[in-house]
Chain A
Amino acid sequence: MAEEGFDRSPDVLIVGAGASGAVAAKRLAEEGFDVVCLEQGGWPDYTKARAPYPDYELTSGRDWGWDPNARSSPADYPVDDSESDITALMWNGVGGGTVVFAAHWQRNLPSDFRVRSLDGVADDWPFTYEDLEPYYVRAERDWGVSGLAGDTAFPPGEGPPMPPVPLGRMGRRVAKAHNDLGWHWWPGPNAIATQRYGRLNPCTQRATCLWGCSEGAKASVDRTYWPVAVERGVTLLTGARVKRLLVAPNGLATGALFVDRDGKEHVQRAGVTILACNGIGTPRMLLLSATDAHPDGLANSSGLVGKRLMMHPFGTVVGLFDDDLGSWQGAWGQHIHSLEFYETDASRGFVRGAKWGLQPTGGPLSMTHSYPWGEENAIWGPGFHQQLRKRLGRSAMWGIIAEDLPEESNRVVLDPMKTDDSGIPAARIQYRMSENSRRMMAFHQDRAKESLEAAGAYETVIAPFIRATGWHLLGTAMMGSDPSRSVVDPWGRAHDVPNLYIFDGSTWPTSAGMNPTATIAAVALRGVDHLIAEKRSTRTSS
């Protein structure tokens, strides 16, 4: 348990065992680095993944809930969202958000890295799609991604290592409709194994990806990366909650002070520290690490730590069909995706765009919920059985990921009142959806409705806006070349603290309109490769 790591000073300390921490840990271990990772949560308990059992729909929300405030497990810290239009969702444990993510594996597009140059808004990234492309390819092989090369919405290049999930009846219908409309679609890229691949089993299409994959087919990093990293010598301490990072008088990071499950404090020293705590946990950690020398938080000379929070406004449009589409089964995941309206078209009244993923709609209990069906379509009462027959297995839905642009007023701060159960100040988020985001979402919902109608839907439902959609936590420790305008450099190294790195989605200058895990993984891989290459010339405190 925790004691084993205390008495040594490894080369690298990683805080957080989610996607980016896993990528860094495995890569560093492969190169012979001594690595310790501190993770406040534990390993996921897949005995609670109940997909094969009748109680699945009843228990999934309890055991695999996405909202840390609702979950309130010992691994969680409160996130006060009373001043936010969107609730932040996350999984605090080994695997991080990949334990409960939908596994949509979306590379960003070339334009996502050149938002300022192309659309005159926000900021360009300090590298291009072409710079990142080799890391996407490597990450897709490391993770175990399925999909199809040649997507016409992307530059030519290598595709994922496994064939895509089946289109299914609903995917074929919508694909044909998009062909008739002349709209883009492509088989969905997913971090889901469609054949045996490394430690992953083939998907069995139970459509339960978001609530703990019972089959071991979804490429969450607790299944893929961490067992390999641990086998290669990485020490992964669970139940280890970091209170703050430690800094020497010379300005270098020396490690972290953390609390174990028994409330005992420990110091974990290391030559290099990597933060991989997501777009809320990472700025929280930097702000918690304020000292007399850094009164506004560590690595915060730019004043941007915590600012520019982006969470991707999310929309859903459902179509009802006469035919049995078998739509409680499949990969969830996405059967197809569409980037038809992803690129900016100024005539629409907003800049940037959104990605659509076609998804199953769930089992019978899901048919009774107010999301996505809407209170105005409540199923209860005399029409219950008729409505159930209309929805169950005969519906399909587009999930819409909309790009929100960075605004410094959207931010993460420390909560002055609340703490986690270790007494560490909680996070508070302040986030308002912009007019650009609202226009974008309305436009995309209308187009998604047209898509489903063209596919034969006799009725469509635009899901009500709900707050609990903040799966993607981005932008709060921006990367860039100018230390006065960014927190970390283009490789994730803090401008102010040369042996402190940030590899999670905090570093994104803009949010793109894509599910972010593919790019989080690729950017982390690029960053850790650079760290490894530069290690000899990096000043360390050891």
Chain B
Amino acid sequence: MSPAKFDADRRAVLAAVADVLIPKGDGMPSASEADAAGRWLDEVLRLRPDFGPPLAALLDTIKGSDPAAAVTRVRAEDPAGFGVLAEVVAGGYFLNPEVRSAIGYPGQQSVPIVHEEPADYEQDGLIASVIARGRVYRPTP
């Protein structure tokens, strides 16, 4: 499968529908403002080249449509296509370090386990309460 090309026209279509999915608001940039149809699209497609052909085909079908109407139609009529579109847009949006910083998400961090004394399950009588309620299984007859 040859890689799909995303020229300025396709990116413009993507930017418009991406902003329907992730609009500006609450102090956060829209998808296009976060460059989800530019630099981060390139990165998404580098990571997930399998998204390229279905995304390109989808964008070509909605070119010239009202973006909001197009999103509504694709969601209703092409769930698989919408799934690719949504994953590309949100995936690119959340690759942007400024977005990640703004939502307070540093990634899946390494947090070594600290074995507390007493253990967390022993604190505040947590496990003692369970034990006090007694055994709850049915024994082998």
Contact = CB atoms under 8 A, between A and B. Distances in A.
Specify which of B71, B86, B140 lies most central, judged by the most chain A CB atoms within 10 Å of its CB: B140
B108 A380 contact: no
Interface stretch (B8-16, B54-62, B123-131): B123-131
A167 B27 CA distance: 34
Given A57-B94, A179-B126, A165 B131 contact: no
A11 interface: no
A364 B107 CA distance: 9
- Dominant secondary structure at the A interface: loop
Contacts of A51: 108
B108 A328 contact: yes
B1 interface: no
B104 A393 contact: yes
B136 A152 contact: yes
B50 A62 contact: yes
Interface residues of B, number: 55
Contact of B94 (A110, A130, A186, A365): A365
Nearest to A380: B21
Interface string A156-173: 000000011111000110
Contacts of B110: 52, 204-206, 215
Interface in B78-130: 83, 86-87, 90-91, 94-95, 97, 100, 103-105, 107-116, 119-121, 124, 126-127, 129-130
A114 B91 CA distance: 48
B3 to A, nearest CB: 16
B46 to A, nearest CB: 9
Interface in A380-402: 380-382, 384-386, 388-389, 392-393
B87 to A, nearest CB: 8
A256 B128 CA distance: 55
11 contacts: A57-B91, A110-B137, A110-B138, A114-B140, A129-B140, A148-B127, A184-B130, A184-B136, A208-B108, A370-B83, A380-B86
In the complex, the 5 A-B pairs of residues with the closest C-beta atoms, listed nearest first: A385-B26, A204-B110, A179-B129, A206-B108, A110-B140
Interface of B: 20-23, 25-28, 43-44, 47-48, 50, 71, 75, 83, 86-87, 90-91, 94-95, 97, 100, 103-105, 107-116, 119-121, 124, 126-127, 129-131, 133-141
Interface of A: 51-59, 62, 109-111, 113-114, 117-118, 128-130, 148, 150, 152-155, 163-167, 171-172, 175-176, 178-179, 182, 184-187, 194-195, 202-208, 215, 328-329, 339-340, 342-343, 363-365, 368, 370, 378, 380-382, 384-386, 388-389, 392-393
Given A110-B140, A186-B130, 17 more contacts: A55-B43, A59-B48, A111-B138, A148-B121, A164-B119, A167-B120, A171-B120, A172-B120, A178-B130, A329-B111, A364-B100, A365-B94, A380-B21, A381-B21, A384-B22, A385-B28, A392-B104
